[in-house]
Chains A and B, each alone.
Chain A
Amino acid sequence: MSSPALHEPFEAIDRQRLSAALGMWVFLASEILFFGSLFLGFTVYRSLHPQAILEAGRETNVVFGSVNTAILLISSVTMAVADKAAERGLRRMVVGCLAATAALGLAFLVLKGLEYREDIHEHLVPGPDFKLKTPAAQLFFGFYWSMTAIHAVHLTIGIAAVCLFAWRVSRRAFDFTASAALPSLGLYWHLVDIIWIFLYPLLYLGGRAP
């Protein structure tokens, strides 16, 4: 009658699923304020030093940025498919989609790493031998490095959780159809994706209009 996924203190699996989703939404609200402060700071500096921020914005590598945006968007699709497949109890489909999601996430990190290497090579790390002369251009890269690094930390946590979940599903370790873990993980993954969708125009598209 009752599902093995049902835990104390809940008495019904539906309520437990709703609660897990609510808990994740509440946590995501917190995450939005977390990144929101960064967006606010960036916006303030952009209005204080418009020219310098645009000048610095032209230095990021738009190819890496765009390819990574595409990769993350696709990973959100595979995540959503995994979620839907779990509702129907399609175990192999779930494992496959989760593996694809994790692989795409890893691909994003690898590309990001290559991009970082190029940035370092081009003296885009704030400091005495920074590439641009305008002092405020370094502010842009202060935000570039902190925003993308914090985003990468979130993505790494997401990849680890997806891998763990895929492994447990493939080992038939728990009742993934009833459990609320997958929809919650999906919500988190999509948030990390959406944050990037805001980061992409801020960091890669500013200053490039003809």
Chain B
Amino acid sequence: MTDMTAESGLTAPRSDTYLNHGSTLWSWLTTTDHKRIALLYFGSITLFFFIGGAAATMIRLELISPNGALFTNDGYNRLFTLHGVIMVWFFLVPSIPTTFGNFLLPLMIGASDVAFPRLNLFSWYLNTVGGLLVVACLVLGGVDTGWTFYTPFSSMFSNSYVFLAVAAVFVVGFSTIATGVNFIVTVHALRAPGMTWFRLPLFVWTQYATAIVIILATPVLAISLALIAAERLFGLPIFDPQHGGDPVLFQHLFWFYSHPAVYIMILPAFGVVSELIACFSRRQVFGYTAMVWAILGISVIGFFVWGHHMFVAGMSPFAALVFSFLSFIVAVPSAIKVFNWTFTLYRGQIYFEAPMLYALGFIGLFTIGGLTGLFTASLPIDVHVTDSYFVVAHFHYVMVGGSVSAFFGALHFWWPKISGRMAPDGWARFAAILMFFGFNFTFFPQFVMGYLGMNRRYHHYAPEFQIYHVASSMGAVILAAAYLLPMGYLTWSLFRGQKARANPWGATGLEWQTSSPPPKHNFDQRPVVTERAYVYHPDQESPRHEEPNAREPHNPQGQRG
């Protein structure tokens, strides 16, 4: 069976894809097809990405001058809170799981849908309700507590729409939990015959681990936010120091969610990058088993490091030492992953197409983000840089340089599968390089000024920091252009792009064993899995050079028909 002839049956245009299965708006709003729900989520998170991005643009504009010329103090507080709340809960947390996870998880394991299709649709509606609440909060005047909602300010003093914001995050949290339940059961119950646990693509493993973190961490956030609401609305003293309550207890509960939430945002990105690096260097993933244990290790250890957000909030030296130690430990599995991606490149046949550029950019930016995480995990340095731009730069390197790069890498890699069209690779490569450049231009100066003493969340600052802020704002312009470009050329490709073959990149995963775009039920016949993931070349042999159009998956995971 040569792949090219077998594929010809899949390239013929077909009329029964998931996209043209029904075309009314009603058919989209009531769909239980995981692929269509993924596209609904694409719409939501794109909208919120640009709302949060608009807030970031205004922040960067404001910070060009050290005098805070555009916004009042209160206005600036509301601006960065809005940016944080929307980017964290309405973009980053749902981003990869609800879009690519929803679209690909059933395809990759050879299932026809997720385990609970109606729950999946329900989660999108919950997400929409949460979105409407946050938009209402924004229209009415916003919140000024910072995305962390620290008490007692949020519960007793803040004169802004805290309840609406908290309700929005509460609702959207349950939408995420629904997705998490769905993914866990799907991976357990719906794997195709022969798809054993250690044949799962790493993307599936990361979705599974992310789902576990989601269901165990999110409820703790929900309850801490509900308690803030109880304190604001009914005057119940939960964290009120006047009655002997402890605001630091709130911080513990909040970070018990919000540190694992960082792994909710980055683990799916790890999965994407593993797929991209293997496919575009035509190599088996180096140390697949170690990668799996690293994923699971991160998701478990990630639950025990939350205290490093509170080193200066009042904590016993012993507790601080333990949290510091554990924070160093959690870096080990992340480092294993970075080394394994690098070793996967070694002696590979590397193709520098757009998805690969995003993946390589991810490795560099995530490594910087991760290493600076070690700075902030060590007590003496953290005391110096807490609440400074150093911390802001650190988590933007992980969240934006890491997760968002991976999101765009995934978008370009699976675009042919989702839309049935190829993205113009020249433009895509240009956008990828521009994004890498713009990102560093924006956030590297923030490391420097943070180390020199620039505080986060202030819009009045000492004039000697202006040079860094101006540099950062100029970088943000480039970054914004790099985010807007794909909107243009991807839309263009929907109409004018070259039609995609079933497997344009010659990848091994099951999702490439069906037509592009896939039919409503994913596979014409249920696939049978006979092979490990990523067998791009025989064991003990290097991959051969192949022309880009003639790349073959060699030993794909599934057998067709």
Give the interface of A toward B (CB within 8 A). 7-10, 15, 18-19, 22-23, 26-27, 29-31, 33-38, 40-41, 44-45, 48-49, 52, 126-127, 135-136, 138-139, 141-143, 145-146, 150
Contact of A34 with B220 in the complex, beta carbons under 8 Å: yes
What are the residues of chain A within 8 A of B32 when measuring CB–CB? 8
Which among B106, B119, B223, B249 is the interface contact of A44 at CB below 8 angstroms? B249
For the complex with contacts A18-B189, A138-B237, A142-B236, 7 further pairs of A-B residues with Cβ separation under 8 Å are: A9-B112, A9-B190, A22-B189, A33-B220, A48-B246, A127-B235, A145-B230
Whether B246 contacts A23 by the Cβ 8 Å rule is: no
Question: Does A33 lie within 8 Å of B216, measured CB to CB?
Answer: yes
B39 at interface (Cβ–Cβ under 8 A)? no
A164 nearest CB across to chain B (Å):
15
User: Quick one: which of A23, A141, A145 contacts B181, CB cutoff 8 A?
Assistant: A23
Given contacts A8-B113, A146-B236, contact A26 B190 (CB under 8 A): no
Q: In the complex, A45 Cα to B184 Cα: how many Å?
A: 35
Asked whether A146 lies within 8 Å of B238 as measured between CB atoms, the reply is: yes
- A sample of 6 inter-chain contacts (CB < 8 A) reads A9-B113, A9-B117, A23-B181, A37-B253, A37-B256, A142-B245
The CB with the most chain B CB atoms within 10 A, among A9, A23, A45, is that of A9
Cβ-Cβ contact count across A and B, 8 Å cutoff: 119
Verify A34–B219 contact, CB threshold 8 A. Answer: yes
Tell me if B238 and A143 are in contact (CB < 8 A): yes
Query: With A and B bound together, what is the CA distance between A37 and B168 in angstroms?
Result: 20
**Residue numbers in B under 8 Å from A143 (CB-CB):** 238
Point out the residues of chain B lying under 8 angstroms from A126, CB to CB. 235-237, 243
The main secondary structure of chain A at its interface with chain B is helix
- Looking at the complex, which one of A27, A48, A139, A150 makes contact with B238 (CB distance below 8 Å)? A139
With A and B bound together, what is the CA distance between A9 and B227 in angstroms?
Answer: 39
- The reply to whether the CB of B242 lies closer than 8 angstroms to some CB of chain A is yes
Q: Roughly how many angstroms separate A48 CA and B244 CA in the complex, as a whole number?
A: 8
Q: In whole angstroms, how far apart are the Cα atoms of A35 and B242 in the complex? A: 25
| Contact residues in B for A22 (Cβ distance below 8 Å) | 184-185, 188-189
- Report chain B residues within 8 Å CB of A30: 177, 180-181, 215-216, 218-219
Report chain A residues within 8 Å CB of B182.
Answer: 23
| Per-position 1/0 for B279-320, Cβ under 8 A of A | 000000000000000000000000000000000000000000
Which of A26, A34, A38, A141 has the most C-beta atoms of chain B within 10 angstroms of its own C-beta? A26
> Could you tell me the distance in whole angstroms from the C-beta of A157 to the nearest C-beta in chain B?
12
Q: Which residue of B lies closest to A127 (CB)?
A: B235
A11 to B219, CA, bound (A): 32
Q: Roughly how many angstroms separate A141 CA and B106 CA in the complex, as a whole number?
A: 47
B26 touches A (CB below 8 Å):
no
Q: How far is the CA of A138 from the CA of B185 in the complex (A)?
A: 43
Q: How far is the CA of A8 from the CA of B226 in the complex (A)?
A: 36
- The CA-CA distance from A40 to B32 in the complex, in Å, is 39
A34 adjacent to B238 (CB under 8 Å): no
Contact A26 to B238, CB < 8 A, known contacts A138-B243, A150-B226: no
The distance in angstroms between the C-alpha atoms of A98 and B185, with both chains bound, is 27
- B495: Cβ under 8 A from any A Cβ: no
Query: How far, in Å, is A90 (CB) from chain B's closest CB?
Result: 28
Assess the A8–B244 pair: CB atoms within 8 A.
Answer: no
| Chain A positions within 8 Å of B365 at CB level | none
Q: How far is the CA of A142 from the CA of B220 in the complex (A)?
A: 18
Do A136 and B243 touch across chains, with their CB atoms under 8 A apart? yes
Task: Evaluate contact between B215 and A8: CB separation under 8 angstroms.
Answer: no
* C-alpha gap A127/B115 in the complex (Å): 48
Which chain B residue shows the least CB distance to A135? B243
Residues in chain A near residue B253, CB distance under 8 A:
37, 40-41
- Chain A positions within 8 Å of B181 at CB level: 23, 26-27, 30
Q: Least Cβ distance of A136 to chain B in Å?
A: 4
| CB-CB under 8 A for A19 and B188, given A27-B177, A30-B215 | yes
> Which of A23, A49, A145 is packed against the most chain B CB atoms within 10 Å?
A23
A9 pairs with B216, CB closer than 8 A: no
Question: Which of A7, A37, A52, A135 has the most CB atoms of chain B within a 10 A radius of its CB?
Answer: A37
Please determine whether A37 and B189 come into contact, CB atoms closer than 8 angstroms: no
A143 to B227, CA, bound (A): 9
